[in-house]
């Protein structure tokens, strides 16, 4: 891939950081490295988790109470390698809002290059009843604020 070729992913998740309304950082840890001396594939899932956890904390603070979603599906597209040491930037956006579930898209960047994208479907969940619920209108409105920036 050369500089004039734009990266694309299987699900067309944006690979430019400007598309993401929520961004956070993580650090490449020595433990993230595998025998090939690059960041192991499982570490990309951890970087995504860092981004999602920080995003949920941000939503909870803005909403005023816990946002109750649980993961239902998670996929990753690996686009490039990353190496230790380094800093990771994670962009997070809401790509879809359904009746009981929503989809988050993330792009993971190292030194300005998109090295992976991921997508997670999460379901609004009532832990007391141990079942999914319709996303409340006020939570839906909050999620809409974090859709992709055009």
Overall domain count for the chain: 1
Residue-wise pLDDT for 25-68, tens only, equals 999 999 999 999 999 999 999 999 999 999 999 999 999 998 99
Residue 47 forms part of a structural domain: yes
Look up the CATH number of the domain holding residue 63.
3.10.129.10
The tens digit of pLDDT for each residue in 70-94 reads: 999 999 999 999 999 999 999 999 9
Secondary structure of residue 17 in the 3-state scheme: helix
Is 7 among the domain residues? no
For the chain, state the CA radius of gyration.
16
Tell which residue, 2, 9, 7, has the closest CA to residue 95.
9
Whether 11 is in a domain gets the answer: no
- Asked if the structure places residue 10 within a domain, the reply is no
- The whole-angstrom separation of Cα 31 and Cα 134 is 40
Looking at the domain assignment, is residue 3 inside a domain?
no
- Cα dihedral value 111, 117, 121, 127, nearest 10: -30
Asked, for residue 6, whether it belongs to a domain, the answer is no
Residue 115 lies in a domain: yes
pLDDT tens readout for residues 100-146:
999 999 999 999 999 999 999 999 999 999 999 999 999 999 999 99
Q: Is position 33 within any domain?
A: yes
Boundaries of domain holding 105: 17-144
């Amino acid at each position: 891939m050369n500089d004039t070729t734009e990266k694309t992913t299987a699900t067309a998740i944006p690979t430019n950081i400007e598309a993401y309304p929520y961004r956070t950082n993580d650090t490449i840890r020595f433990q993230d490295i595998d025998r090939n001396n690059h960041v192991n594939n499982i570490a990309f899932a951890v970087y995504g988790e860092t981004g999602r956890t920080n995003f949920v904390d941000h939503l909870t603070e803005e909403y005023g109470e816990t946002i109750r979603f649980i993961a239902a599906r998670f996929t990753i597209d690996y686009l490039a390698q990353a190496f230790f040491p380094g800093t990771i930037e994670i962009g997070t956006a809401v790509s879809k809002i359904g009746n009981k579930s929503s989809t988050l898209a993330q792009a993971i960047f190292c030194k300005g290059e998109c090295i992976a994208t991921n997508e997670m479907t999460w379901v609004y969940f009532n832990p007391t009843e141990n079942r999914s619920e319709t996303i409340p209108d006020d939570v839906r409105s909050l999620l809409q604020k974090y859709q992709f920036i055009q």
